[in-house]
A = this chain, B = another copy of it.
């Protein structure tokens, strides 16, 4: 069943409003085993008619959002009636419901609102208790333009979401009939690039029958999406894990910081952070997770050398001899943070974000990451993250969180 979505609204194309319908409807449809084949966004006004006519030619189901309001640029109702070749008439029940909506709020209905009770002859009104615009369902048999079902839905999420569950979902299930629901599993991996992944496993995954594979790379993490039958997904998962089990930090779309905070909390472990070049980003990511206060006790942003010495007890001589970006300083920062905080573990990071400050021996992007543990050896890693300033910070923070995950939750 081919599904197209048509989102209308000039604000979505002028950039004054972020369109979240695509993501939300994609998730909701996937729960029903359905997918969006194309999503089209057009401004208010005449473009709606053209886009709707185009969608109806190609799809089995078209879901339209927006343009059902009372103002002159709200023409979705008219466009749908024209495309389907049906006349609009005023629906008695819809009009009464509109009047009741205003009465309940102690307001008189403005004349402009009356057009919101107009419905193509024979179409079904989908009640919208949270707004003035009812939804409209034009079944395939009514649609003169082809064998396509058309849903006209209100744009505001707080109106759309309940109407979707109550009215749209049962109709979509009926339209889809016996179409079997596929499953989906999304693995998220850190510390490996999309191309490494592809090179290592893609050919094997392609050989698994009934499995659809997708990749989505973000900065320092990659999603591998496996869609298909339960058996195909399990075979795909096994192949990914065979090569990359230690890289996979989530099978449920969680963020790395969330995995780290929940993992530490579950083990009753506390953590301190001592950051130089990441400038507080690691503490910030950890504290984005609800419950972080049970885990993160102390954080330092020791940007200046004096701060590294006075707050974390880094040796002034070592700062002088080895430089702030060095294994010795990373080690002393982590151990100082552990000592000072009394936490179970402490991480440190010191590096050269650039654009200036690099040398031949330590080029821009060089970073030392330390991990000190109560009663354990301190670990220090040297890494290279060549990116712009914000990318460097993000990429290094990802490496640090992943180190915590591997070493403390492994």
- Residue ranges of A at the interface with B (Cβ–Cβ < 8 Å): 9-20, 22-30, 35-44, 47, 51, 69-73, 104-106, 110-113, 130, 132, 156, 158, 162, 184, 186, 194-196, 198-199, 202, 206, 213-219, 223, 225, 253, 273, 275, 278-284, 286-288, 290, 292-293, 296-304, 306-307, 310-311, 340-342, 355, 384, 386-391, 393
A23-B18, A35-B13, A112-B199 known; A302 vs B307 contact (CB < 8 Å): no
A-B contacts, 23 of them at CB < 8 A, read: A11-B214, A12-B39, A14-B214, A15-B25, A16-B225, A17-B23, A18-B22, A19-B22, A37-B43, A38-B40, A69-B217, A73-B215, A104-B386, A105-B384, A106-B384, A113-B195, A279-B296, A283-B283, A288-B393, A298-B300, A298-B307, A299-B299, A299-B300
Contacting A298 at CB < 8 Å: which of B26, B184, B283, B311? Answer: B311
Q: Closest B-chain residue to A302, C-beta based?
A: B298
Contacting A18 at CB < 8 Å: which of B20, B110, B111? Answer: B20
Inter-chain contact A69/B158, CB cutoff 8 Å = no
Q: Determine the chain B residues whose CB is within 8 A of the CB of A18 once the complex forms.
A: 18, 20, 22-23
Inter-chain contact B388/A130, CB cutoff 8 Å = yes
Inter-chain contact A196/B387, CB cutoff 8 Å = no
| Copies of this polypeptide in the complex | 2
Q: Determine the chain B residues whose CB is within 8 A of the CB of A223 once the complex forms.
A: 11, 16
A283-B301, A303-B293 known; A388 vs B162 contact (CB < 8 Å): yes
Q: Determine the chain B residues whose CB is within 8 A of the CB of A355 once the complex forms.
A: 290
Interface of A is mostly: mixed
Q: Report the Cα distance A70→B217, complex, angstroms.
A: 11
Inter-chain contact B11/A22, CB cutoff 8 Å = no
Expressed in whole angstroms, the minimum distance between the Cβ of A109 and any Cβ of chain B is 8
Expressed in whole angstroms, the minimum distance between the Cβ of A223 and any Cβ of chain B is 7
Expressed in whole angstroms, the minimum distance between the Cβ of A71 and any Cβ of chain B is 5
Inter-chain contact A110/B195, CB cutoff 8 Å = yes
Inter-chain contact B296/A391, CB cutoff 8 Å = no
Q: Determine the chain B residues whose CB is within 8 A of the CB of A22 once the complex forms.
A: 12-13, 15, 18-19, 41
Q: Determine the chain B residues whose CB is within 8 A of the CB of A288 once the complex forms.
A: 279, 389-390, 393
A110-B196, A301-B301 known; A14 vs B26 contact (CB < 8 Å): yes
